[in-house]
Amino acid sequence: MTTDQERVPAVAPTGKRAERSRQAIVSAAREAFVRNGFDIGMDAIAASAGVSKVTVYNHFKSKQDLFSEVIGEAMDEAHATLADVRADLADSEDTREALIRIAWAMINTANDPSRLGLRNVVTAELHRFPELGDAWQQRGPARSAANLAGALQDLCDRGQLAIPDPEVAVIQFFGLTVYPHLIMGSFGSSIDPDLTDRLIRDGVDMFLSHYRPERSGADSV
């Protein structure tokens, strides 16, 4: 007997009609997971998407598989935003303003209610389905860290920053700007825009005080 958690894998259908059905399923599932948590049934998701339960399973072999795709789509949107900001800053000479804009982009995507809801679902279900945490980590924080590392490297390549350990620098930047919002969001709260702006600007100033090239040169004397 097939359950919501497990099904014999099938070859996913292809074509424009199949892609429309697949996108409808993912969109309906995203809303359902945020609203009702992971225990929502696949039949309810199918009904919301306007397809049969069989169609859902033709595209996704399990509810975990569908949830992973929902995570991936949500994170792809966030990463696209940061990529756009990074491209816009390609010729920026104002390092401080560049970092402030990067921080705002990451915070705005992190504070999106849908992504916050999905993250809270993952947190609530880790004890039952640790693979959901793995999917979130790989599609979300790991890619965000890689994107931020790329943006910081752009600034290093232009001589605007001097970062000897990019892995540490990425964690420090997140800690100074983004992490407070993730913590507050996990409790259903938020930081108001005025305080957010002050935290970002002070956090960026602390980051720059450590990684400006002038500091690197002074230390080498």
156 in a domain, yes or no? yes
Q: What's the pLDDT band for 217 if we cut at 50, 70, 90?
A: very low
pLDDT attached to residue 76: 86
Evaluate whether residue 67 is within a structural domain. Answer: no
* HSE-CB of 96 using CA atoms within 13 angstroms: 10
- Give the per-residue pLDDT at 69: 92
Q: Are residues 136 and 211 both part of a single domain?
A: yes
Helices 42-49 and 16-36 pack at an angle, to 10 degrees, of 120
- Same domain? 43 vs 100: no
Q: For the chain, where are the alpha helices, taking DSSP H only?
A: 16-36, 42-49, 53-59, 63-88, 95-110, 113-125, 130-139, 141-157, 166-177, 179-186, 193-211, 213-220
What is the pLDDT confidence band of residue 218, given thresholds at 50, 70 and 90?
very low
CATH code: domain of residue 41 = 1.10.10.60
133 and 194 assigned to the same domain: yes
What's the pLDDT tens digit per position in 174-197?
999 999 998 888 788 889 999 999
Say yes or no: 45 and 85 in one domain: no
Among 42, 61, 80, residue at a domain's last position:
61
- What is the residue range of 213's domain? 72-220
The answer to whether residues 45 and 119 belong to one domain is no
Domains: count for the chain: 2
Q: What is the mean pLDDT of residues 145-159?
A: 91
Above 60 in pLDDT, residue 140? yes
Q: Is the dihedral of CA 3, 6, 10, 16 positive or negative?
A: positive
Q: Is residue 66 in a domain? A: no
Segment 62-118, tens digit of pLDDT: 999 999 999 888 888 888 888 888 887 777 889 999 999 999 988 988 888 888 888
Please, which contacts does 126-135 make with residues 24 or more away whose CB atoms are closer than 8 Å? Answer: 129/38, 129/64, 131/64, 131/68, 132/38, 132/64, 132/67, 132/68, 132/71, 135/64, 135/67, 135/68, 135/71, 135/72
- 22 pLDDT higher than 70: yes
